[in-house]
Amino acid sequence: MLLDKTIAELAKGLRNKEFTSVDLIEECYQTINQVNPKINAFITLIKKPDVLKIALQRDAQRTSSSSPLHGLPFILKDTYNTKGILTSAASHVLNGHISQYNATVYQKLLDAGAILIGKMNMDAWGHGATNENTDYKPVKNPYDTSRVAGGSSGGNAAAIAARMAVFGIGEDTGGSIRNPASWNNITGLKVTYGRVSRYGCIAYASSFDTVGPMGKTVEDCALVLETIAGKDPYDATNSPHPVPPYFEELLNISSKDTVIGLPKECFSEGLDLEIKKSTEVAAKELESLGFRIKEISMPMLTYGLAVYYLIAPSETSSNLGRYDGIRYGLGREYFTPETRRRIMVGTYALSAGYYDAYYKKAQQGRTLFIKEYEKAFTQCDVLLMPVTPHPPTRLGKAVDDPMQNLLIDVYTVTQNPVGVPSLALPCGFTATGLPIGMQLVGKMFTESLLFQVGHAYQQVTDWHKRKPNLIEAA
């Protein structure tokens, strides 16, 4: 399949006229028609004739200096505004909401010549870890359709794994890129807070929200990040920090000078044994590549869920206040039970009598996380952690037990309050064939380093190449 290729391989093939963007689009739509009915990854699929028209233009416009993303089909989580197209956040509150303008991340990809083929299913407003909190029916895992795809960027991850698009843009507030990436055997990056503009992205928790790439490999994510990162006057939280040539720098690393820390708190009670084993084996592989592995301790991580699940609902209760049926949207009665719970928790935590006891306490916890990470990075350069405590749940399980939905985030909720970047990438499979991922966490703005370590790992392993049987069966 053409879609098995990396972005760099596709760009080369297109340049050498071995195939065209039209061929890529034809292949995508064939796969989508065969596989999507089994996994429900799309909310909006752009009409094929419209996409083919653009692909023809891209083929005609291609020059030797075109972006590597020129003419490549991509997808967006349905939280990004796309002029003239429905943007739903997977919620009926936004029924009929046609965007009036383009999110910066989308505009940058259009400017690079990439081709949008669809807007993807997600947990409504980003609330969830299984992609079951959606008004558009759950996304199923392409590796086992009796299980969830993960969330909240589940549609993106499932579609990329199933070769329906080359890459996608997700959003991560507390794990929403990393969790589905690891449950669908793809690579995804939660960027440093402020690295990529959030202009035009529907807000969940504004001090945690990040926009990031999802793709089959580390090098694909590096190429996409290069295109979407950078200063944007429309987003005041966006950083002017220079954007390095991430792709070019992939090999610029001295493994013997890089220390990878394993926080022991992440490998104890509550972690599925197969995930523990795979992550430890991955650490051994990295060691055999010359990296230095060191066990460290980060006891504050244990408070991650408690802190996150006060601040995130507080911010979302404030952000969702505008969808009252007067200012925006159809009104509150359309919010799902999961979203209502979050609005209630957040409103309570922010209310006059409880502010000090809950919201303020959580913010103090956040400061302690920042200190904990600072301390960890005096002992190592990169942290290696699991992404999720267990493999993808069976459909329905997390809906019946909402606490379960929150516990899934245990390893992914402390990075967002701190702002540090984290790269999730495949590191194995369970005995029953379910994907396992790990995450590499670095200091602020060390995306290059994370890519370098992840890329080195993907050069000697081929977990990321194992695609769902579903495609072959189609």
Q: How far apart are CA 164 and CA 471, in angstroms?
A: 10
Q: What angle do CA 197, 199, 200 make, to 5 degrees?
A: 135
Q: How far apart are CA 352 and CA 354, in angstroms?
A: 6
Q: How far apart are CA 193 and CA 178, in angstroms?
A: 15
Residues 406-435 binding ligand GLN (CB under 6 A) are 409
Using rule CB under 6 A, residue 132 touches ligand GLN: no
Using rule CB under 6 A, residue 128 touches ligand GLN: yes
Residue from 88, 91, 176, 314 carrying the catalytic annotation: 176
Q: What angle do CA 154, 158, 162 make, to 5 degrees?
A: 170
The correct pick among 118, 126, 155, 426 for binding ligand GLN (CB under 6 A) is: 126
For 290, the 3-state DSSP assignment is coil
What mask of x and - would describe binding to ligand GLN in positions 298 to 337, judged by CB under 6 A?
--------------x-------------------------
# residues contacting ligand GLN (CB under 6 A)? 14
Is-contact 160 216, C-beta < 8 A? Answer: yes
Residue 249 φ/ψ, nearest 5 degrees:
-85, 5
The correct pick among 58, 62, 127, 390 for binding ligand GLN (CB under 6 A) is: 127
CB of 204 to ligand GLN, least distance (A): 5
Q: Please, which residue, 129 or 418, has the CB nearer to ligand GLN?
A: 129
Is-contact 27 17, C-beta < 8 A? Answer: no
Q: Please, which residue, 250 or 413, has the CB nearer to ligand GLN?
A: 413
Query: Judged by CB under 6 A, which stretch of 35-43, 122-130, 228-236, 423-431 contacts ligand GLN?
Result: 122-130
Q: How far apart are CA 274 and CA 283, in angstroms?
A: 14
Q: How far apart are CA 26 and CA 42, in angstroms?
A: 17
Helices (H), 81-135: 104-111
The correct pick among 44, 104, 176, 317 for binding ligand GLN (CB under 6 A) is: 176
The correct pick among 68, 154, 155, 174 for binding ligand GLN (CB under 6 A) is: 174
Query: Judged by CB under 6 A, which stretch of 20-28, 109-117, 125-133, 214-222 contacts ligand GLN?
Result: 125-133
Q: How far apart are CA 38 and CA 206, in angstroms?
A: 34
Catalytic residue flag (residue 12)? no
> What's 102's DSSP letter?
-
Q: Please, which residue, 126 or 365, has the CB nearer to ligand GLN?
A: 126
Q: Please, which residue, 356 or 400, has the CB nearer to ligand GLN?
A: 400
Q: How far apart are CA 413 and CA 175, in angstroms?
A: 6
Catalytic residue flag (residue 152)? yes
> What's 434's DSSP letter?
-
| Torsion sign over Cα 211, 216, 219, 224 | negative
Q: What share of the chain is helix, strand, coil (3-state, %, to 5)?
A: 45, 15, 40
CB of 125 to ligand GLN, least distance (A): 8
Catalytic residue flag (residue 176)? yes
CB of 112 to ligand GLN, least distance (A): 25
Using rule CB under 6 A, residue 381 touches ligand GLN: no
Q: Please, which residue, 266 or 413, has the CB nearer to ligand GLN?
A: 413
Q: Are strands 292-296 and 259-263 parallel, antiparallel or unpaired?
A: parallel
Using rule CB under 6 A, residue 129 touches ligand GLN: yes
CB of 435 to ligand GLN, least distance (A): 18
Residues 194-213 binding ligand GLN (CB under 6 A) are 204
Residue 178 has which token pair? 């990393």
Residue from 21, 88, 152, 197 carrying the catalytic annotation: 152
Using rule CB under 6 A, residue 170 touches ligand GLN: no
CB of 223 to ligand GLN, least distance (A): 23
Side chain identity at residue 70, one-letter code:
H
Place of tokens 């429900």: 40
DSSP 136-174: T-PPEETTEEEEE--SSSHHHHHHHHTTSSSEEEEEESS
CB of 257 to ligand GLN, least distance (A): 33
Query: Judged by CB under 6 A, which stretch of 3-11, 165-173, 329-337, 446-454 contacts ligand GLN?
Result: 165-173
- The residues binding ligand GLN (CB under 6 A) are 126-129, 152, 171-176, 204, 312, 409
> What is the set of active-site residues?
77, 152, 176
